[in-house]
Structure 1
Amino acid sequence: MLTLDQDDIILDRHAEDWQSALDLAAQQLSEAGLVTEGYRQGLYDREAQSSTFLGNAIAIPHGTPDSRDHVNRTGVRVIQFPRGVEWHDGNRVHVLVTIAAQSDEHLDILRQLTHVLDREGVAERLAAADSAREIAALLSKAPLEARLDADTLCLNFPASDSLELALAGAARLRQSGCVDNAFVAAIADQQAHPLGQGLWLTSSPVGVQTPALALATPEASFQGPLGTVNGVFCLAAQGSAHRDLLERIMTLLDSRAGETLVGADSATVLSRLAGESASARTATARVLNAHGLHARPAKQLVQVAREQSVPVKVRLAEGGGAAVSAASLTKVIGLGARRGQQLLFSAEGEGADSALSAVCRVVNEGLGEKVAPFEEGREHVAPITEPSVEPLEADVPHLAVAASPGLAIAEAFVMRPPRFDYPERAEQPAEELRRLDSAIEEAGRQLASLIRQAPGGEVSEILSMHEEMLDDPELHEAAREGIREGFSAEAGWWRAIDTAAHAQEMLADRLLAERAADLRDVGRRVLGVLCHVELPTPPERPYILVMDDIGPSDVARLDTRRVQGLLTARGGATAHSAILARALGIPAVVGAGARTMALDNGTELILDGERGRVIPAPSTARRQRAELRLKERERRERDAWEARFEEGRTSDGHRVEVAANLGNTAHTQDAVERGAEGVGLLRTEFIFMAHAQAPDLDTQIAEYRTAAENLDGRPLVARTLDVGGDKPLPYWPVPQEDNPFLGLRGIRLALTKPDILETQLRALLIAGRGCPLRIMLPMVKDVAEFRQARAIFDRLLEQLPEAERATDVQLGVMIEVPSCALLAPSLAAEVDFFSIGTNDLTQYTLAIDRGHSELSAQADGLHPAVLRLIQMAVDAAHAQGKWVGVCGELASDAAAVPVLVGLGVDELSVASRQVPLVKARLRDFDMSEAQRQAALALSQATSEAVREALEAL
């Protein structure tokens, strides 16, 4: 197994860029005789596949399997860059852990470094470290902490000689599980050493399980054969881990506090051993921050401490750790304080009380973060919710995020987050490992059963992904390591889950970050088995399920005959739970806020999954209106399905094509069966995301041809690869961006690698032979970007014989960026069509991230500013004889359909399930009515006003 050694660490190096750092790493490995010169290319090849940046300013460059022939022997070199190196993915690196491995031994290093990744402040400490020993300590497993706390103290013991006190201290260490009988025997065979001030010391390394310090004091000072006895320290020594305990004793002696220990209680003794004098004032405050005292809140605390007129010290109230300066960021971060732990502050002199009051106040206020009260004994897993929130106001529409369309009227069944109460520590690791393995096996059986019963393909796919997560060997090993370190099966498992989920949440890609919910869903399943926790039984009558957040397996278990709708406090429209709700046809509203969880079971709700709103305890009149809407909707759905193959037309015959949005070519036939008149948006990135490297020409041709053949002459509108900072591909690393939605994505990114864009365009042209093919470019901001792509497109049209490619082909752009709409006249003169992506156009116009937990409900495409941009694009296109489609969620919004048609939109592309309903909606109005509604909407000042005005018609 690879290990980190101080001799392998090189300090204080500088590199201008990541290539120079990689060259230096290869040189160090070569000079150490670990590799030959050819290994350098292996390091570069690995970075080309994917970035080796691990997190917390650490990268672990290593070769590819092909470069193993250049490895002479396994080894590692650690290089520190205090000023940092900008890595090719945009991250800042301070330490390279460069690995030469003849097999997959680099995974050992990765496992050892896992504990570093979720610790705030490590990056700064790696950069500032001035010794190899300090770097090794930061990167190695957390050092074994010596124990000193109230349980290792034996105070006011009735004894008449120092040996009795020494044995009392040894017995206390044995009771605490720190030593065995051999240690007690070793202490019995030795004479205590005098320290001065009536204090004595005995110590032994024999039979030590955990380094620790005990102190036994007599009921009253007495004279022994060698002098006064005020207390005897009993030290369980192990390696160098007990040195801090010895330093603590020396600090006590230096303060001349030895004689004050007789008759003192445990809090006073621990205070003196922490370096706090008898005259110091103290105060405590509990850490409420969800992720503990990491760098950001620690910085707030340090700033307040530095503003005080007297020095302030701080330590963890639990245990006997030394007090450190509250004005030192590294010392405060080094405390490692977790949520729920008490901080003990101390200060001396005039102004001590006000200083303590100031630091405690900022801790209680959250140190700049939103916090919730700590609930003793129930903090293991339960999500943090808002304190003392009032329920949603009765008979008032509350806006949230529309996640799955539909209307439901039913009583609420509130599923509170499960509480898992379990011990943090356990004394029999073998038994805990057995329990964990058994629970994982049982969880696997449960998932297998759910997959067999799953009501749909997407449900099965996501639950199968849960099976893979459950089988992850890295997850298992992380949990087992925690158990071997003394944690219970529950604590070890959840620490592994929480660490992995937190790392997932830090990803720039919101879609990938939301998959952390899947990981925690898997974690809770195993935890439920371990803790014998079962969810409450829902009622037999129809109900709307209300949860803080809902996991995919929760959705898969739903009895769709009884569950009329879903309402969650958290979550986004792109989470797996929302995807599954749409797949199952269950109306869902998510992200409604913490007040949702304050609803009482049995409260009647009106849930509108199209408008993204919920109405608790509706009035009789409001309920009757909703019931009429519901009955009307059910009738309309039946009628719409019967007429699904009719052309999309208004009641006066105005033609509006209704197409389907697809994320997978395999679903094309289903879309046609639902009445789609073509595919208005094929998200081609699904092909790229499904492969470990960029799919070649033949692979893409085969995929696109599936869609073209299943459409049987209907038009196919394919969007070119739309990935980037917010949706990265593992084999196409891009720099990390502060705001990936405003960075390298869409056509901007594709133009940086024109060969990939050219291959995709070639594949589309070949696969689209005999099919009306429309290709659109995403994220275009102006005509210059379009011209660059058009040059490649035109060249391919010349190269490919007409008999081998699509001839009915158009090249257009997506209107997603406001500048594109504002400059629509210049674009319309050169493009063949516009397709308006209202999701992105709305968030860029209103400056609201549509996945934002608090603001997303305000990201409404019916905002008059968005509608004006759509109008500008339509007018410009029609002036040039070009057509315009809408492929965003607004196209399936019942209130928006007549407005869009009135603005002149020629095509609406929606989710396949919505195609029949959108066609039916078109038949509800004529063109003059549509134009009247469009004019009405444009005359309003807000999206709320638009919806109210349209609803009043």
Structure 2
Amino acid sequence: MSNNNNALTLGAPLSGPVLALGNVPDEVFASGAMGDGLAIDPLNDSLYAPCDGEIIHVARTGHALTLRAQNGAELLMHVGIDTVELNGEGFALLVKNGAQVSKGQALMQFDLDRIARQCKSLVSLIILTNSERFELTPLPLRSVKHGEPLARVALRSGAALQTAVDNSVAQASANVRITHRGGLHARPAALIRKTAQAFSSQTQLHFAGKSAACDSLIGLMGLGIGEGDEVCVTCRGKDCAAALQALVAALSVAIGEEPHTPMAAAPRRANTEVGVLQGVCAAPGLVCGPLFRLSTIELPADTGNHCADEQLQRLDAALEQVRGEIRTTLDLARQRRNAEEEDIFAAHLALLEDPALLDTATRAIEHGSAAPHAWRDAIQAQCAVLLGLGKPLLAERSNDLRDLQQRVLRVLLGEAWHVELPAGAIVSAHELTPSDLLQLSAQHAAGLCMAEGGATSHVAILARGKGLPCVVALGAEVLDVPQGQRVVLDAANGRLELAPSAARHAEVERIRDTQNLRRQEQQTQARLPANTRDGMTIEVAANVASSAEAQVAFENGADGIGLLRTEFLFVDRRTAPDEQEQRQAYQAVLDAMGDKSVIIRTIDVGGDKQLDYLPLPVEANPVLGLRGIRLAQVRPDVLDQQLRALLQVSPLARCRILLPMVSEVDELLQIRQRLDELCVELQLTQRPELGVMIEVPAAALMAEQLARHADFLSIGTNDLSQYTLAMDRDHAGLAARVDALHPALLRLIAQTCAGAAKHGRWVGVCGALASDPLATPVLIGLGVSELSVSPPQIGEIKDRVRHLDAAQCRQLSLGLLDLSSAKAVRQACQHHWPLS
């Protein structure tokens, strides 16, 4: 096993395909927040020790354990994703905490089938949790059998240097008085930890007879250092003088209790207008009403002297109650097919069984803390770690942790949700959580405004989905607005008006009444055709992902389905749907749409959208990898089965097939040839129309050649935008700049339409731009004849079409191609075709 005192070769603890950490279907693991590592998709039902060592942690539900190797490397082995939901059922631990184990020794047995049926994924993790000291180097393997060499673990060069110099006499120390307001709580402790990690020397803090390593967040907080307390800092190692100077500075810099702005919060503009707070729009809308401030739970001082077993039982009971509540929320989200809400609360359920979180709370209780204080402190410590990582996605996850803090504390303190909102209240808070939002929405809050938060947060997503006006990043001033004061929330413009006049209130009410009346009128006309004033018919279809959504689209007046995303059939399961299941699902969508046509996109996975049962090569840049139609090149059987299912729907004339991520004419020709062969095989006399998605610049530039062989073209503006602008549309700092009204995008749309017209083919748009009323005249002017939008917007987009003149749209749209930016295009659109 050992190559020297510090390096060792790990044996595979499981058998199965090997995955890079970045391909694991869990954001926290994949991001490396827990440490470096890799994963195995297990084919066996036992977990084995990868090396000799000691078991230093066993998860309460038996799905994970941590082993410390003889060289000090600590390895977390976590079987499956979200396996906490099994509550220990299906897992049989063969070792206890503290056990000495040998390489290859069986540590755990688990029910492979049960995990596959009931959990998000069987993919199991091997994480090096102290990767700041050790380095894990995976061997180049695609698959492995348990016990075979899997990876090497060695002390990092900096850490090795530290070991060498720590035997020297180079050391330094100093006394310093803590000036952080409130003492060494989570945020200052995170600062000290980050400072210490920049040096190779061993650094410690000493107070009241206790000591803690400066790179241990929990250890620092556990010293109980208050504001004004004097501590001793010791540093030992080659760079001890520099480390001491940096730590003394970090300990003596006053950090107040002002709110910390998460990495993901949108930048807030200065409040320059008197009586107005300026923030960032998270969900549009205009409302007025009394302000209601929602406060967080404040705990009384902990008196100590608690029975640890009793407090652990309290915490366990509270955690289980909250898990039950979240499972109920998850079930409701699944019934409503609300994927975004489902993802958010599935993540919450996983966080509730995070080993680091539970271990921290458990240790605090064992050291005398009451359950509420132990839980609060554990959450705050984890939040500080996430915020300190400098990654927007993980910073947003800290708000999810605060959500769990509030939920569990309410149960522990016996505080059910007893908030009574005044009629039409606009709720203000430091930062709302997803469960807060669901509760407030159920109590008919009129709007939400927050001191912090980001426009890409989970709360923002939920608020938009519920049509609840929401403004974030207003600053701490919003918390000083008196309870009950009447305000106006102009969410679309990110404004909170603190002292609106009676006339302004009346104006807002008039605007809202006019908007509501117009929406009602649009809805009554939604089933009618969308004809421009000069007689051009624009088909307004819907984007859906299930037969239930198709039914909603039909009820909202859709002229057809412009995009059925078939991925809903393939994700969140352990095996692929068979041909019969697929055929039934596609038929159900056709049946829901009466006599209207349905465009069904073939499976668009791969790259960043992995399927557990469809292992693909690890890719350095998955967005540019095996996506969409390229998947057929490596797994033609998957597309073959889907095409067979599609060819068996009835009537076949109403089914159109759409191919994603096409970039070459040959790709289209190969699929068309295969479709013809299957039609012959199935003895079909007619063949469905075959279309191509235009979502990469190459396809737009080759539109004329593609149109020669395709029956129609459909532009996916979301992907086309990010590929053209070289900006990730999910990047928190760039997402606002990924605007499909950029002149470069408009030129590609114009070229697509011109190329299609040469062969008499029609062009649709199924990306988010089709749902933007400001873009409707531009798309019509450039030659688009079908817009596929979200079902609730069908009436609005049809109404927009009816107020336009197609000839004028053509004339004015060409001039937009010469503008300099998306902002300039939007301003011109507002001038030419103002939104009333």
What's the TM-score once normalised by structure 1's chain length? 0.62
Structure 1 SS opposite 2:609:
coil
1:896 maps to which of 767, 775, 779: 775
Distance in 1 between residues matched to 2:203 and 2:312, nearest whole Å: 37
Q: How does 1:790-939 map to 2 (within 5 A)?
A: 790-802=672-684, 807=686, 809-935=688-814, 937-939=816-818
Among candidates 763, 781, 790, match of residue 645 of structure 2:
763
Deviation of 1:316 after TM superposition, in Å, equals: 2.3
- 1:314 to 2:286 alignment: no
**Offset of residue 461 of structure 1:** 10
Q: What is the aligned-residue RMSD (CA, Å)? A: 5.8
Q: Relative contact order (C-alpha < 8 Å, sep 6+): which is higher?
A: 2
Aligned ranges for residues 33-432 of structure 1 at < 5 Å?
43-44=15-16, 56-58=35-37, 64=43, 76-78=49-51, 100=106, 103-104=109-110, 121=132, 123-124=134-135, 297=194, 301-302=198-199, 314-318=203-207, 345=233, 357=245, 360=248, 373=255, 375=257, 392-394=271-273, 400=280, 403=283, 406-410=285-289, 413=292, 415=294, 427-432=306-311
Conserved? CA contact 2:447–2:489, under 8 Å: no
The aligned residue for residue 88 of structure 1 is none
In the aligned structure 2, how far is the partner of 1:360 from the partner of 1:386?
A: 30
Q: Which amino acid aligns with 1:823?
A: M
How far off its partner does 1:344 sit? 5.7
Distance 2:334 2:572 in 1: 24
Cα 1:860–1:296 shift into 2, 3 Å: farther
Whichever residue aligns with residue 765 of structure 2, its letter is: V
1:290-311 per-position Cα deviation (integer Å, ceiling 9, x unaligned)? 6966999468722xxx8xxxxx
Distance 1:561 1:876, change over 3 A: farther
- 1:914 positional shift: 1.0
Contact 2:266-2:453 within 8 A present in 1 as well: no
What is the deviation of 1:835? 1.6
Aligned residues: 732
Q: In structure 2, the residue corresponding to 1:124 is in which secondary structure?
A: strand
Say which of 799, 807, 826 aligns to 1:947.
826
**Unpaired segments of 5 or more residues in structure 1?**
1-5, 15-20, 27-41, 69-73, 84-95, 128-134, 139-250, 256-273, 307-311, 325-330, 366-371
Separation in structure 2 between the aligned mates of residue 384 and residue 572 of structure 1, nearest angstrom:
9
Contact kept, 8 Å, 1:394 with 1:615, in 2: the verdict is no
What is the aligned partner in structure 1 of residue 141 from structure 2? none
Q: Per the alignment, in what secondary structure is the counterpart of residue 834 of structure 1? A: strand
CA separation of 1:720/1:573 partners in 2, compared to 1, >3 Å: closer, same or farther?
farther
Contact 1:466 / 1:519 at 8 angstroms: preserved in 2?
Answer: no
Query: In 1, Cα distance between the equivalents of 2:601 and 2:618?
Result: 24
Q: What is the deviation of 1:683?
A: 1.3
Change (3 A) 1:534 1:812: same
Take 1:748 and 1:45, find their aligned partners in 2: how far apart are those partners? 22
Does residue 669 of structure 1 match 2:560?
Answer: no
Higher deviation after alignment, 673-682 or 619-628: 619-628
* Cα offset, 1:674, TM superposition: 0.9
Specify the SS of the correspondent of 2:198.
Answer: helix
Q: Which residue of 2 aligns with 1:711?
A: 593
Q: Distance in 2 between matches of 1:75 and 1:451?
A: 34
Structure 1 segment 266-665 matched on structure 2, within 5 A: 297=194, 301-302=198-199, 314-318=203-207, 345=233, 357=245, 360=248, 373=255, 375=257, 392-394=271-273, 400=280, 403=283, 406-410=285-289, 413=292, 415=294, 427-440=306-319, 443=322, 457=336, 462=341, 466=345, 474=353, 478=358, 482=363, 485-486=366-367, 488-490=370-372, 493=375, 521-531=403-413, 537=419, 540-547=422-429, 550-559=432-441, 562-567=444-449, 577-578=459-460, 580-588=462-470, 600=481, 602=485, 604-608=487-491, 613-614=494-495, 616=497, 629-665=511-547
Q: Mind listing any 5+ residue stretches in structure 2 that lack a counterpart? A: 53-68, 74-101, 115-120, 139-151, 156-166, 226-230
Q: Deviations over 1:248-297 (max 9, x none)?
A: xxx9xx99xxxxxxxxxxxxxxxxxx9757xx687879789969669994
Tell me what 1:327 maps to.
none
Equivalent position to 1:745, from 606, 610, 627: 627
Amino acid corresponding to residue 607 of structure 1 in structure 2: D
Q: 1:704 to 1:300 in 2, by over 3 A?
A: same
Structure 2 letter corresponding to 1:124: E
Q: Say whether the 8 Å CA contact 2:7–2:154 is kept in structure 1.
A: no
For the Cα contact (< 8 Å) 1:389–1:595, is it kept in 2?
A: no
Shift of 1:678: 0.9
- Are 1:391 and 1:597, in contact at CA under 8 Å, matched by a contact in 2? no
Q: CA deviation at 1:938?
A: 3.3
Q: What SS does the corresponding residue of 1:802 show, helix, strand or coil?
A: coil
Question: How far, CA to CA, are the matches of 2:463 and 2:452 in structure 1?
Answer: 15
Q: Contact 2:700–2:749 at 8 Å: present in 1 too? A: yes
For the pair shown, the structure with the greater C-alpha radius of gyration is: 1
What is the Cα deviation at residue 646 of structure 1?
0.3
Q: Distance in 2 between matches of 1:619 and 1:8?
A: 74
Alpha carbons 2:574, 2:613 under 8 Å: kept: yes
Aligned equivalents of 1:314 and 1:11: distance in 2?
22
Please give the alpha-carbon distance, in whole angstroms, between the structure 1 residues aligned to 2:823 and 2:499. Answer: 20
Q: Which string of whole-angstrom CA distances, capped at 9 and with x for unpartnered residues, describes residues 462-513 of structure 1?
A: 5899599669995699468546754643466568878999999999x99999
Name the SS for the 2:804 alignment partner: coil
Equivalent-residue separation in structure 1 for 2:415 and 2:218 (angstroms):
34
How far does the alpha carbon of each residue in 1:697-727 deviate from its partner, in whole angstroms, 9 at most, with x for none? 1221111111012112311112222223433
Deviates more, 1:641-650 or 1:334-343: 334-343
- The AA in structure 2 aligned to 1:814 is M
Q: What residue identity is the alignment partner of 2:808?
A: E
Contact 2:171-2:240 at 8 Å conserved across structures: no
Structure 1 vs Structure 2: percent identity of aligned residues? 33
Distance (Å, rounded) in 1 between the aligned partners of 2:464 and 2:403: 19
How much does 1:912 deviate?
A: 0.8
Displacement after TM superposition at 1:530 (Å): 2.0
Structure 2 CA distance, aligned partners of 1:518 and 1:827?
46
Question: Helix, strand or coil for the counterpart of 1:694?
Answer: coil
> In the TM superposition, what is the alpha-carbon distance from 1:644 to its structure 2 partner?
1.5
Aligned equivalents of 1:344, 1:734: Cα separation in 2: 54
Q: Go from structure 1 to structure 2 and tell me whether the alpha carbon gap of 1:852 and 1:337 turns closer, same or farther (over 3 Å shift).
A: farther
Closer, same or farther: CA 662–399 of 1 in aligned 2, 3 Å = farther
The question of whether the paired residues in 2 share the 8 Å contact of 1:422 and 1:490 is answered with no
Distance in 2 between residues matched to 1:514 and 1:723, nearest whole Å: 26
Aligned-pair CA distance for 1:839? 2.2
CA contact (8 A) 2:780 2:809 kept: yes
| Higher mean displacement: 538-547 or 653-662 | 538-547
TM-score (normalised: structure 2)? 0.70
d(CA) in 2 for partners of 1:720, 1:940: 36
Question: How far did residue 756 of structure 1 move?
Answer: 1.4
Contact 2:136 2:153 survives alignment (8 Å)? no
Q: 1:328-347 CA distances to partner (integer Å, 9 max, x unpaired)? A: xxx95799767999896568
8 A contact 2:632–2:638 mirrored in 1: yes
Alpha-carbon spacing, 1:690–1:51, altered in 2? closer, same or farther (3 Å): closer
Q: Distance in 1 between matches of 2:672 and 2:443?
A: 52
Contact 1:76–1:100 (Cα < 8 Å) also in 2: yes
Which amino acid is the alignment partner of residue 109 of structure 2?
Answer: S
Greater mean deviation of Cα atoms: 561-570 or 384-393 = 384-393
- String of CA shifts for 1:598-643, please: whole Å, max 9, x gaps: 684647444355xx75464698899888666534322211111111
